């Protein structure tokens, strides 16, 4: 099995990097987000992860960039209706939490509902 590397750095090296050094490895969008500073909700989530690393954390912060501190943690990300569990893996570094939680689901229509017209109730038998 191949060892994980991110932009030429191994897993142990990445975990030792500071936030500024790690941000230099990211894409420009994620780097700019970290450079401007994290909003209060994102700071609070990171503090909770540091305080209780084994606990399941729920969040609405879909735009949060995944940093090395979050590796191996399970986080409940809100999709607009419920919290979807995401286990943070090494290949997710530098991407946002919302990329791994789908907000839309497939629409499945059933039979016509109450109050439908006679013509819409007609279903041909083939």
Residue 122, domain member (yes or no):
no
Q: Are 88 and 64 in contact (CB under 8 A)?
A: no
Identify whether 109 is part of a domain.
no
Question: With a threshold of 0.85, does the pTM exceed it?
Answer: no
Residue range(s) defining the domain that contains residue 28: 5-103
Count how many domains the chain has. Answer: 1
CATH of the domain at 96: 3.30.860.10
The tally of CA atoms less than 13 A away on the side-chain side of residue 27 is 9
Average pLDDT, integer, range 66-71: 90
Mean pLDDT of 9-18: 80
Is 126 within the bounds of a domain? no
* Domain annotation covers residue 27: yes
pLDDT digits (tens, 9 = 90+) for 76-115: 999 999 999 999 998 888 899 999 999 998 888 777 667 6
């Amino acid at each position: 099995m191949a060892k994980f590397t991110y932009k030429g750095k191994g897993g142990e090296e990445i975990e030792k990097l500071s936030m500024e050094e790690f941000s230099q490895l990211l894409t420009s969008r994620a780097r700019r987000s970290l450079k401007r500073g994290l909003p209060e909700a994102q700071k609070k989530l990171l503090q909770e992860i540091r305080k209780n690393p084994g606990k399941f954390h729920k969040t609405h912060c879909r735009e949060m960039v995944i940093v090395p501190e979050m590796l191996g943690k399970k986080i409940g990300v809100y999709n607009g209706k419920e919290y979807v569990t995401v286990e943070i893996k090494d290949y997710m570094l530098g991407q946002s939490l919302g990329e791994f939680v789908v907000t839309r689901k497939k629409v499945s229509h059933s039979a016509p509902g109450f109050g439908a017209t006679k013509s819409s109730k007609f279903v041909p038998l083939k």
